[in-house]
Structure 1
């Protein structure tokens, strides 16, 4: 009985592998050069909205250092 259960589990694993391979084979692919060009275009078009490139105004920055206060 052990050999039939291991055979059936091997069959199930093989079926899952085939299903996964079919899914991966059906994925639409594009050339790396095309993907890189599209990514570059997207980055250039959206650079003005990127706070890492443009900075954050201090009034909008929740992580700015607190102002010190001195009592004389």
Structure 2
């Protein structure tokens, strides 16, 4: 009885693996050189909007250090 359930379990695992492999085989792929060129173009087009490259004005920065005040 346990041999039959082990066989069914193995069959289910194999079917799941085949389904996943078919899914991965159907994915459209492009060459790495084309992906790199597309990524470079995207980065260059959006560089002016990137706060990591251009910086954030201190008035818009929510993480700026708080101003300290002193009382005399």
- Provide the aligned length of Structure 1 versus Structure 2: 72
- Cross-structure match for 2:22: 22
- Cross-structure match for 2:38: 38
- Cross-structure match for 2:62: 62
RMSD value over aligned CA atoms?
Answer: 0.7
| SS in structure 2 at match of 1:10 | helix
Name segments (4+ residues, structure 1) moved above 4 Å.
none
Query: What's the CA shift for 1:17?
Result: 0.3
Q: Deviations over 1:11-68 (max 9, x none)?
A: 0000000000000000000000000000000000001111000000000001101112
Q: TM-score, normalised by structure 1?
A: 0.96
The gaps in structure 2 that reach 5 residues or longer are none
